[in-house]
Amino acid sequence: MDVNDIRIAFTLFSMVIFLGIVSWAFAKRNKQSFDELGGLPLMDDQAPGALSSQGGRNE
């Protein structure tokens, strides 16, 4: 087995892994969970009226 054979095998293995990740990311069954996770940065950190870290009320 030549070093070029190892390089070819690693390249093919990497390509298969990459295509698997891409197909998983764009699968329709994952769309709802990705949409929910995508909105997390836009959600508030605390609920309205919750106590702040300084002990007072958030108003």
- H or E segment and range at residue 11: helix 3-25
What is the overall mean pLDDT for the chain? 84
Is residue 54 scored above 70 in pLDDT?
no
> Mean pLDDT throughout 39-47?
77
Is residue 45 scored above 90 in pLDDT?
no
> Mean pLDDT throughout 8-19?
98
The answer, as to whether pTM is greater than 0.85, is no
- β partners of residue 51: 57
Is residue 57 scored above 60 in pLDDT?
no
> Mean pLDDT throughout 23-49?
83
Given phi > 0 = left and psi -120 to 50 = alpha, else beta, which region is 47? beta
